[in-house]
Amino acid sequence: MFRLPILLLLLLWPLMSLAQQHNERSHTFSVGGGVANVLDTYLSPYDYKGPAVHLQRQTERRVRAFGIDSLTFQTLTDIDCAFTENPAGNVDGYAGGLRYGLAWLKPLGRLTFSTNQSVLSFYAGPQASAYIGAVYNERNGNNPAQAKADVMIDATAKVKWDFNLFRRRMSLGYQLYVPVIGLAFSENYGQSYYETFQLGHYDHNLVFAHPGNMPSMRHLLSLDIPLRKSSRTALRLSYAGYFMQSTFNHLLYHSYTHSFMIGLTSSFLRL
């Protein structure tokens, strides 16, 4: 069980070199914020709600591999932080972390419409992702925080609509990520971090994660608006809806975030 995510990552890493062999690339950086709803019964039985900030960086490279044209190699880095409070408003909490993902998207087909010369494209593929973060509750004395970490293989699908509007070639995209299989860290019910790390008392702290105990999904919706008629730099308006849940070691956890972001995306040809 310990070797499965490592083996899958090792299989994906050599493929990354293929992404360097094509000359079409895009880079996007976005910043924004929204709201968060966080529950971790290791710390508290209540939902903590509050504002959140979100940073995101995405790169895409179109490559040819395995005899497939226009295969897309994608990296996605997410950093988020939420400032929450309990329902009574007298206890503060904090939650956040970093997620990094590597995805391969295979084109499944496209539909071309004469109206506005629009093109609807469909993609799907696997993603290897890793997350590290924490949830903190200022009321708890002995165990004020809960660490979060996982290494997952996800399934991802994307729909992209390119169309002309106001003499601009705009792009509307939607992408879905669903964790499928991997490993996650979790304390056990009633276990302290002193027991785990100081005394070395292992108690099923590495958990085999799957949709049965980690039913989660992440949604990304974006609109790219070129700054000029023929510009390769565009303004990106996006929404990120992350719905992360888990039931590990009799502990319930969820983190629901809605973020609205603004950023810039640049595409270029590398000769």
Residue 22: the pLDDT is 53
Looking at per-residue pLDDT, the higher value among 16 and 185 belongs to 185
What are the structure tokens assigned to 1, written together? 């069980």
Residue 19: the pLDDT is 44
Fold assignment, 3-264: Lipocalin (2.40.128)
At residue 10, φ and ψ (nearest 5 deg) are -65, -30
Sign for the CA dihedral angle at 220, 221, 227, 231 comes to: positive
pLDDT per position as a tens digit, 160-203 = 999 988 888 899 999 999 999 999 999 888 878 777 777 777 77
At residue 2, φ and ψ (nearest 5 deg) are -65, -30
pLDDT confidence bin for 136, thresholds 50/70/90 = very high
Q: For residue 52, which of 33, 26, 73, 32 has the smallest C-alpha distance?
A: 33
Q: Domain coordinates of the chain in residue numbers?
A: 3-264
pLDDT per position as a tens digit, 220-265 = 999 999 988 777 899 999 999 999 999 999 999 999 999 999 999 9
Per the CB < 8 A criterion, the answer to whether 104 and 126 are in contact is yes
Per the CB < 8 A criterion, the answer to whether 244 and 36 are in contact is no
Q: What is the pTM of this model?
A: 0.87
**Most confident stretch, 12-21, 107-116, 182-191:** 182-191
List Cβ neighbours of 107 (8 Å cut-off, separation of 6 or more). Answer: 68, 69, 70, 71, 72, 121, 122, 123
With residues binned 3-state (H G I as helix, E B as strand, rest as coil), the percentages for the chain, rounded to 5, are: 10, 70, 20
**Quick one: average pLDDT of 24-41?**
94
The partner residues of 259 in beta bridges, in order of sequence, read 34, 240
**What's the CA angle centered on 86, arms 144 and 130, to 5 degrees?**
55
Rounded Cα distance, 208 and 188, in Å: 14
With H, G, I as helix, E, B as strand and everything else as coil, classify residue 6: helix
Per-residue pLDDT at 2 exceeds 50: no
How many Cβ atoms sit within 10 Å of the Cβ of residue 167?
Answer: 9
What are the structure tokens assigned to 112, written together? 């071309």
Per the CB < 8 A criterion, the answer to whether 207 and 249 are in contact is yes
Place of tokens 């995510």: 5
Query: How far, CA to CA in Å, does 224 sit from each of 5, 79, 89, 101, 198?
Result: 34, 21, 39, 22, 50
| Whole-number percent of the chain with pLDDT over 90 | 66
pLDDT per position as a tens digit, 67-97 = 666 788 999 999 999 999 999 999 999 999 9
